């Protein structure tokens, strides 16, 4: 008996980073044991910004490799690629017809992304949360593990479910977000959310020397100008990461020693690097093995898509009838 159905997704827009890992994937792995989990590589979302076709294909495969290497077990959950289940976009169209444009224009992610990609503000970017609502509701999922940045979109998903149910009769649940204890990791600049599309990320499969270089140059507490100035871990992004990857004794010691200037940032970063790599090394090894056997990943994704198509087709039939369309003749 599971505690309910979960849906969550990740965009294949680049290298999966510590923010994705801490804010989402670690939680996905834990939840897999208690819930009926559906995890998706959301490639249709990834094409809402400018992209290169070959890189997209590589990123989709690499997302599959990374997720499985992180512990997403296709035998215990369903892992698939969004574009391989056409019902997602079909349901999104129905939702488009009940979603006020104003709701979408207000979304923080739309405002941020349209500022970032001024030359490429397309309908897909505006419509992103509607497709996300369809991703979740096509499986009638009750829970969505996400980082803090996605909470506004889950609220819109609930509103969409409510609007649909009020107009066409009870059909969809109103899903709840499940936030990770550390639901926001800042980038190496210490100022903006760690993002694949910004040059501020630490990729979990990057070579150790690259990870070290990124950590070494990461912004910490900016008020700490000299080695002997006391620091404030409460405003240091790296301390947030320590809290995830370091042992309680290390965390307590760093907290104390940083405030009293007993320890400098470089020493603190070295401890973090060692603890982080102890955690990431086995994941990096599994990923290397999977890259040598891509057929394992492809088979898992194919099987996931097959299962999802079955579930999604049933819900789409129900939706078609409820909104006044003809059912699909088989
Ligand atoms: N910095 C972060 N801290 C905590 N959680 C994060 N997530 C992303 N960045 C952080 C969570 O990771 C999951 C998958 O994210 P996504 O790839 O679907 O989209 P995103 O949030 O837009 O991630 P990026 O890296 O910022 O991608 P780009 O740059 O392509 O837009 C989500 O649950 C998200 O909350």
For residue range 135-166, list pLDDT tens digits in order.
999 999 999 999 888 999 999 999 999 999 99
Catalytically annotated residue among 3, 30, 111, 113: 113
Mutation test residue for ligand 1: of 13, 149, 193, 197, the one with most atoms within 8 Å of CB: 149
Residue 330: its pLDDT value, please? 64
Q: Is 196 a catalytic residue?
A: yes
Give the Å distance between the CA of 20 and the centre of ligand 1. Answer: 5
**How far apart are alpha carbons 185 and 178 in whole angstroms?**
16
Rg (CA), the chain: 21
Query: How does pLDDT run along the chain (330 residues), one tens digit per residue?
Result: 788 999 999 999 989 999 999 999 999 999 999 999 999 999 999 999 999 999 999 999 999 999 999 999 999 999 999 999 999 999 999 999 999 999 999 999 999 999 988 888 999 999 999 999 999 999 999 999 998 889 999 999 999 999 999 999 999 999 999 998 887 899 999 989 999 878 899 999 999 999 999 999 999 888 777 777 778 899 899 999 999 999 999 999 999 999 998 998 999 999 999 999 999 999 999 999 999 999 999 999 999 999 999 999 999 999 999 999 998 776
Q: Quick one: which atom of ligand 1 is closest to the CA of 198?
A: 29
Look at strands 78-81 and 143-146 and give their pairing. unpaired
Catalytically annotated residue among 140, 196, 214, 269: 196
Q: At what angle do helices 265-292 and 208-216 cross, to 10 degrees?
A: 150
How many CB atoms are located within 10 Å of the residue 191 CB? 11
Half-sphere exposure of 202 (CA within 13 A, CB side): 29
Residue 235: its pLDDT value, please? 87
20 lines ligand 1 (CB under 6 A): yes
Q: Distance from first CA to last CA of the chain, Å, rounded?
A: 33
Contact indicator for 24, 10 with CB cutoff of 8 Å: yes
How far CA 301 is from CA of 45, 62, 116, 222, 291, in Å, comes to 18, 12, 32, 44, 14
pTM of the model: 0.94
Q: Is 193 a catalytic residue?
A: yes
Q: Is 234 exposed, middle or buried (0-12, 13-18, 19+ CB in 10 A)?
A: exposed
Return the HEC string of the chain: CCCCEEEEEECCCCCCEHHHHHHHHHHHHHHCCCCEEEEEECHHHHCCCCCCHHHHHHHHHHHHHHHHHHCCCCCCCEEEEHHHCCHHHHHHHHHHCCCCHHHHHCCHHHHHHHHHCHHHCCHHHHHHHHHHHHHHHCCCCCEEEECHHHHHHHHHHHHHHHHHHHHHCCCCCCCEEEECCCCCCECCCCCCECCCCCCCCCECCCCHHHHHHHHHCCCCCCCCCCCCCCCCHHHCHHHHHHHHHCCHHHHHHHHHHHHCCCCCHHHHHHHHHHHHHHHHHHHHHHHHHHHHCHHHHHHHHHHHHHHHHHHHHHHHHHHHHHHCCCCCCC
Scored b (16 or more CB within 10 A) or e, 92-111 reads bebbbeebeeeebeebeebe
């Amino acid at each position: 008996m599971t505690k309910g159905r979960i849906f969550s997704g990740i965009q294949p827009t680049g290298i999966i980073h510590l923010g994705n890992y801490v804010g989402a994937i670690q939680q996905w792995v834990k939840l897999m044991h208690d819930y009926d989990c559906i995890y998706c590589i959301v490639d249709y979302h990834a094409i809402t910004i400018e992209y290169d076709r070959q890189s997209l294909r590589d990123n989709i495969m690499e997302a599959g490799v990374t997720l499985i290497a992180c512990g997403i077990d296709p035998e215990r959950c369903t892992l698939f690629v969004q574009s391989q289940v056409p019902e997602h976009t079909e349901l999104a169209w129905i939702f488009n017809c009940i979603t006020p444009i104003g709701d979408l224009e207000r979304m923080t992610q739309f405002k941020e992304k349209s500022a970032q990609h001024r030359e490429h503000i397309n309908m897909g970017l505006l419509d992103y949360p509607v497709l996300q609502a369809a991703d979740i509701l096509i499986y009638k999922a009750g829970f969505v593990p996400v980082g803090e940045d996605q909470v506004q979109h889950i609220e819109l998903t609930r509103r969409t479910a409510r609007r649909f149910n009020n107009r066409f009769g009870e059909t969809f649940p109103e899903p709840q977000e499940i936030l990770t204890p550390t639901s926001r990791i800042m980038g190496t600049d210490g100022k903006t959310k760690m993002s694949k599309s910004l040059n501020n990320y630490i990729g979990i499969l990057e070579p150790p020397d690259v990870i070290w270089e990124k950590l070494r140059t990461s912004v910490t507490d900016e008020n700490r100008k000299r080695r002997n100035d006391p620091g404030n871990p409460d405003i240091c992004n790296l301390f947030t990461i320590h809290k995830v990857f370091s042992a309680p004794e290390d965390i307590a010691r760093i907290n104390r020693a940083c405030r009293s200037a007993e320890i400098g940032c470089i020493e603190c970063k070295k401890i973090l690097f060692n603890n982080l790599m102890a955690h990431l090394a086995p994941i990096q090894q599994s990923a290397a093995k999977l890259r040598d056997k891509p057929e394992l990943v492809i088979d898992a994704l194919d099987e996931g898509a097959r299962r999802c198509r079955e579930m999604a087709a049933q819900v789409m039939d129900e939706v078609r009838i409820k909104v006044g369309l003809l059912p699909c003749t088989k």
